Amino acid sequence: MQEKKKLSLGAWILIGMGCGIVVGAILWAALGSEAATGFTATYLKPIGDIFVNLLKFIVVPLVLFSIMEGVISMNDIRKVGKIGWKTIAYFLVTTAIACVIGLVIAALFKGSFPVLSLAEGAEYQAKEPEGIMTVISNIFPNNAISPFLNSTMLQIIVVAIAFGCGILVAGEKGKPAADFVMSMNEVTQKVMSFILKLTPFGVFCLMAWVVAAQGPKILGSLGLVLLAAYIGYILHVVLVYTVSVKAIGGFSPAKFFKLITPAAIFAFTSTSSVATLPVSKESCDEMGVDNEISSFVLPLGATVNMDGTAIYQCVAAVFLAKCIGIDLSFTQMAMIVVTATLASIGTAGTSGAGMIMLAMVLESVGIDPVYIGIIYGIDRLFDMGRTTLNIIGDCSCAVCVHKWEHGAAPVPVEKAETKPAA
């Protein structure tokens, strides 16, 4: 007699997402928007928040030890630099393409964008944007403790690379430290696997809250700009990631998207690139991507690769300009491309961070950031798509870098089939 085959994590996440949508819609229809929002925000969202908090808790040690192990396992400091510049080059090129796609889509939709006014209670207080040199200087920590206390991911990556290179160069004397890093990374991976088992419950609670809170608002006047952004997201996946995975990585796009599904679904519901990192790492492992490459590329990508954010910023900037009667010139649009590319690199991989960086993009073309309040109410819906795109981009980069380094595409790891009972 053959044992029943267990459902995969991706299948359970899909079930959790579907149940969340159904429950959220039922609550919205039965209780009304305000009551449904209050109920889910009180009883369901906190459970989802607990799950996301657990992921954020494990992300700092995961990034620190996985990057250190990735650097150490290369056994050659020159290899670290070689993989590093290829990763950054891939991210910069895809982000620039994302900006162009965003502007083209926004230009096509511009004539249909409505003139809106600030929604009541939706005022957005923009933070003072930092200059590019300030962003660069802030990457480097001034002490060894604050990056971990504040979860400043770029600084943690710098610390991890610095100590990983130090252990590598130290040779025999650095071996005890290397053994400690390897051991801690293994322990961290096990803790991560415990947390990942809770993913379907977290996704269910977060999705039920989003649907109950938003209801049919996406069909309103802001639905058009939301549609424009999602068309941009989809085009970027088709034109950039599908092509790069196939042409550069030599990997089957169908297999890639099948294996990336759990990470994409979690990114869609959690809206946090950093929180999704453990799930995307597991997806890359199943694709057969070299562990030292994925351990280096994914944490870096979760912090600096923000293609979805770049598309969102371009579409939102053109939309807001039209809403207040400004017709952007070609020079202003070029400025948006440059600023959005730099801003997306400086965007934190946490929920809602793209809204903060949008203020910098708007100011670069002379638009008062206060008008962000027009779309502030549905930013969560933008965030779901752009975070998913960011995660797919990170994994596509890992596949391409694997091919560049090994001269062959990664080979997916086949899971052992359940044997018939004796």
When pLDDT is averaged across residues 8-31 and rounded to a whole number, the result is: 81
* Average pLDDT value for residue range 76-102: 82
Q: What is the pLDDT of residues 154-197, one digit of tens each?
A: 688 788 888 988 988 888 888 899 899 889 988 887 887 788 78
CA 286/CA 260 separation, integer angstroms: 9
Write the pLDDT tens digit of every residue in 366-397.
Answer: 776 666 666 765 667 788 888 899 899 999 99
Q: In angstroms, what is the C-alpha Rg of the chain?
A: 22
Mean pLDDT of 25-48: 86
The answer to whether residues 10 and 265 touch, using CB atoms and an 8 Å cutoff, is: yes
Residues in the chain, overall count = 422
pLDDT at 234 over 90: yes
pLDDT on residue 118: 44
Residue 420 has pLDDT above 70, yes or no: no
Cβ–Cβ < 8 Å for 158, 152: no
pLDDT score at 415 = 56
Over residues 282-333, the pLDDT tens digits come to: 899 999 998 888 888 888 787 777 788 788 878 888 887 777 777 777 677 7
pLDDT band per the 50, 70, 90 thresholds, residue 271: confident
Check pLDDT > 60 for residue 26.
yes
In this predicted structure, the answer to whether residue 230 has a pLDDT above a threshold of 80 is yes
Mean pLDDT for the chain overall = 78
Most trustworthy range by pLDDT among 53-57, 308-312, 328-332, 348-352: 308-312
Q: How many whole angstroms separate alpha carbon 365 and alpha carbon 324?
A: 13
Mean pLDDT of 216-220: 49
**Can you tell me the distance from the alpha carbon of 376 to that of 116, in angstroms, rounded to the nearest whole number?**
13
Is the predicted pLDDT of residue 13 greater than 60, yes or no?
yes
Q: How far apart are CA 385 and CA 269, in angstroms?
A: 9
What pLDDT is attached to residue 399?
Answer: 94
Please say if the pLDDT value at position 115 is more than 70.
no
State the pLDDT at residue 122. 47
Q: Token pair 């959220």 is at which residue? A: 24
The single residue listed with the structure tokens 């895809």 is: 94
Per the CB < 8 A criterion, the answer to whether 369 and 362 are in contact is yes
- pLDDT confidence of residue 190: 82
Predicted local distance difference test score (pLDDT) of residue 124: 46
pLDDT of amino acid 246: 92
Look up the pTM and report it.
0.68
- Ordered by where they begin, the domains of the chain are 9-406 (1.10.3860.10)
Which ranges in 144-198 belong to alpha helices (H)?
146-149, 153-170, 175-196
The predicted structure's pLDDT at residue 120: 44
Kindly state the percentage of the chain with pLDDT values over 70: 77
Q: Could you give the percent of the chain with pLDDT greater than 90?
A: 13
What residues have CB less than 8 Å from 366, skipping those under 6 apart? 326, 332
| Encoded amino acid at 362, one letter | L
Does residue 247 surpass a pLDDT of 60? yes
Average pLDDT in the 236-263 region? 92
Q: How confident is the model at residue 416 (pLDDT cuts 50, 70, 90)?
A: very low
